[in-house]
Amino acid sequence: MLKKIFKQTIQINQIPKYFLASPKPNFPIDKIRNFNIIAHIDHGKSTLADRILEMTGTIVKGEQYLDKLQVEKERGITVKAQTAAMTYEYKGEKYLLNLIDTPGHVDFHYEVSRSMRSCSGSLLLVDACQGIQAQTLSNYEKAKDNGLKIIPVINKIDMPAAHPEEVAENMQLQFDVEKEDIHFISAKTGVGVDGVLRAVVEKLDPPKADINKPFKGFLIDSWFIKDQGVVMLVQVKDGCIAKGEQIMSCAFKKRYDIFEVGILNPEMTPQNSLTAGQVGYIFTNMKAVSDARVGDTFHKPDEEVEPEQGFQEARPMVFAGLYPDDPEDYMQLEKSIYKLALTDPAVHIYKESSAALGNGFRCGFLGLLHMDVFKQRLDDEYNLDCFLTTPSVPYRAKLRNSQKILEVENALMAPDDGLVEHYEEPLAEATILCPKEYVSAVMNLADERRGEQKEINIVDEKRFKLKYTFPLSEIITDFFDKLKSATQGYASLDYYHSGFREAKIKKLVILLMGEPVDSLSFMVHERRAHDFGKNICKKLKEKLPGQQFTVAIQAKLGSKIIAREEIPALRKNVTAKCYGGDYSRKKKLLERQKEGKKNMRSIGRVQIGKDTFVDILKN
């Protein structure tokens, strides 16, 4: 079967190396296909996208095109959704194919979700070596929930470790597809890709759109171009729009003049107009990316339309402090961080000040990878020396004798314990795939992280699928590393935020000589509090210099001291000069030293240096 595919498929080196002229505007709706590629991370989405662009003559053969960010190239991941319009000739007729390349990592699921809203089908890509993974299942479920048709594709069939027939059997069981509908390809060499393009035309429906209705555009994405403004990526649901016209936002009721419309081919290519069914960009006099809310609906000011429903805006679920290494770099950091945020509206930024760390920012991210990518982009694009504090999750505090609920993103914002009736912590629904011999190890790890098992199923003869509900705080730091370690690297994980639940959360404060250190305040679960407090106290004991009096370091949970460490007093040998004589002389000197230390202990203060704070709080 695979030999047949190799013989019938056009090889990439046979594709002429030239850029195709931009697709002509005003394609009939029945000749338009909008689709995306969904897969687990590193299963070859961006490589397949580049092969498709090459085989349609849209770009010349070369490096990965859709992954444009430096961080995307370095890490081999897709961070931003990218779109490309291309023309494909099939049975003597030309079709307009709009491809949206989406991220595979869990942190960027909002990019996947919004791309699905603009598609009629998805290429479900599975690695022939790794098989079905946790995010494969998750993305499949999202696609089905959005009513998309699925085209199953098995990639990397040219790899020595590939077992495509076995993977195909698993896909039949998990995704209810027929074997003859599965495409076996190598995105790297181009084998089988032409068959995928034919399937896109044959099996996917044209977009549900009506050119005779008033213009309605659904906002998929937006980005900021320096010295020009905001560019919006939209799908034209109905009607048409052209340069020189005006549009209005359903969310903000603001009007904007249109300077340019066009398609991404894959670069911005101006057109006279965008018509129903097309995906393209609109450049207006909008100056703030915050006015381009993803999921918003745009229309002409004199034509009312029904806004698109059902889209949930991305919400940050991981918060961390961002501070400059040198306080003098604060203004440069402020300027750079807000510039970068223009290209990433999912990041939430607030100014904050710490007595220990100075002026900085409290940033909200979608997840840990999102946080790391944002920090790396600051380093790559602005050459800044800064650091992130340990990430935390947002909690909700239900106040006593009140219906008010406070969002607590930072322990310093937490109200006094006496005012709080209870706290609620964010939850995550997690799917874990692992070999059967490691199921016990995974279950033990899940129990340690307060996981509640929802179901356990057999994926195939070698692997199990486990579904858990976890507190988000238990899995955002080192859970994935621990999972990989427990399964020798064979497990995969996918999770999504699933609401809040009441929990025994309390504020833990570190005391130094009986005085609270505000910068060392944390929100922790009662079950974790003792170990967490003890760990912080030990770190402080190691980092703080000795004094001439005993330094007490304590961890306080509510009104109870749960951990304590002491730094012994530095002792001077006051009897060194006594070479003989009555012992009472030595005793008198020792008593005087003891009294002096007692006085110092009552008035002494211990200063914690910035480096110590950074070592303890740094992520």
- Domains of the chain (ranges; CATH) run 2-203 (3.40.50.300), 216-299 (2.40.30.10), 318-388 (3.30.70.870), 395-503 (3.30.70.240), 507-617 (3.30.70.2570)
Please, what's the b/e burial string for 29-44 (b: 16 or more CB within 10 A of its CB; e: otherwise)? Answer: bebbbbbbbbbbbbbb
Residue 485 CA to residue 483 CA, distance in Å, equals: 5
Provide the annotated binding site for GTP. Answer: 39-46, 101-105, 155-158
Q: At what angle do helices 45-55 and 193-203 cross, to 10 degrees?
A: 80
Asked if 236 and 275 touch (Cβ cutoff 8 Å), the reply is yes
Which DSSP letter does residue 228 get?
Answer: T
Query: CA–CA separation, 170 vs 150, rounded Å?
Result: 15
Residues contributing to the annotated binding site: 39-46, 101-105, 155-158
Q: How confident is the model at residue 9 (pLDDT cuts 50, 70, 90)?
A: very low
Q: How far apart are CA 397 and CA 372, in angstroms?
A: 28
Number of CB atoms found within 10 A of residue 268's CB: 14
Question: Computed over its alpha carbons, how large is the radius of gyration of the chain?
Answer: 30
Q: What is the pLDDT, as a whole number, of residue 62?
A: 61
**Residue 1: predicted pLDDT:** 47
Given a cut of 50, is residue 494 above it in pLDDT? yes
| Spatial CA neighbour of 101 closest among 85, 84, 82 | 82
Q: Three-class SS of residue 291?
A: helix
Of 230-244, 277-291, 339-353, least confident by mean pLDDT is 339-353
pLDDT above 50 for 477: yes
Q: Are 370 and 346 in contact (CB under 8 A)?
A: yes
Planar angle of CA 400, 406, 410, nearest 5 degrees: 120
Q: How many residues does the chain have?
A: 619
Are 565 and 536 contacting, i.e. CB atoms less than 8 angstroms apart?
no
pLDDT band at 242 (very low <50, low <70, confident <90, very high): very high
Average pLDDT value for residue range 520-528: 89
Closest CA to 254 of 223, 187, 190, 299: 299
DSSP-assigned letter for residue 245: -
- Average pLDDT (67-93) is 65
Phi/psi of residue 423, each to 5°?
A: -110, 155
Residue 75 has pLDDT above 70, yes or no: no
pLDDT digits (tens, 9 = 90+) for 257-315: 999 999 988 788 899 999 999 999 999 998 877 788 777 899 999 998 988 875 556 67
Give the pLDDT confidence score for residue 57 in this predicted structure: 81
Decide if pLDDT at 352 tops 90.
no
Predicted structure pTM score: 0.71
- Identify the residue with better confidence: 97 or 512: 97
The answer on pLDDT for 107 being more than 80 is: no
Burial string for 65-87 (b: 16+ CB within 10 Å, else e) reads: bbbebebbeebebbbbbbbbbbb
Average pLDDT, the chain: 82
- DSSP at 431: E
Residue 29 backbone dihedrals phi, psi, to 5 degrees = -60, -35
Distance, in Å, from the CA atom of 607 to the CA atom of 551, rounded to the nearest integer, reads 11
The confidence score (pLDDT) of residue 23 equals 53
Report the pLDDT averaged over residues 25-47. 85
- For residue 221, how many other CB atoms are within 10 A of its CB? 21
| CA separation, residue 208 to residues 118, 119, 303 (Å) | 10, 10, 20
Cβ count within 10 A of residue 486? 19
- CA max distance for the chain: 116
Q: What distance in Å separates the CA atoms of residue 390 and residue 413, rounded to the nearest whole number? A: 16
User: Contact, 204 vs 42, CB < 8 A?
Assistant: no
Token pair recorded at residue 376: 């790396």
Quote the CA–CA distance of 196 and 77 in Å, as a whole number. 22
What pLDDT does 220 receive?
A: 82
State the CB neighbour count (10 A cutoff) for residue 348.
Answer: 15
Q: Enter the tokens of residue 330.
A: 């604060």
What integer pLDDT is reported at residue 113 of this predicted model? 66
Does residue 619 surpass a pLDDT of 70? no
Whether residue 341 has pLDDT greater than 50: yes
Is residue 555 very low, low, confident or very high in pLDDT (cuts 50, 70, 90)? very high
Query: 548 vs 20, which has greater pLDDT?
Result: 548
**Which of the given ranges, 3-12, 66-75, 478-487, has the highest pLDDT on average?**
478-487
Burial of 564 (0-12, 13-18, 19+ CB in 10 A): middle
Give the three-class secondary structure for 511.
strand
Confidence of residue 192 (pLDDT cuts 50, 70, 90): very high
Beta bridge partners of 555: 510, 563
Output DSSP code: residue 130.
T
Q: Is the peptide bond before 206 cis (omega within 30 degrees of 0)?
A: no
Residue 606 pLDDT: 62
Band (20; pLDDT cuts 50, 70, 90): very low
The least confident of 15-19, 230-234, 258-262, 379-383 is: 15-19
Lowest mean pLDDT among 228-237, 299-308, 351-360, 595-604: 595-604
**Cβ-contact 31, 186 below 8 angstroms:** no
Least confident of 12-16, 48-52, 429-433, 517-521: 12-16
Those residues whose C-beta lies under 8 Å from the C-beta of residue 292, and which sit 6 or more positions away, are 219, 222, 230, 232, 286, 345
> Judging by beta carbons within 10 Å of its beta carbon (0-12, 13-18, 19+), is residue 88 exposed, middle or buried?
buried
User: Residue 418: its pLDDT value, please?
Assistant: 82
CB neighbours of residue 479 within 10 Å: 22
To the nearest whole percent, how much of the chain has pLDDT over 70? 82
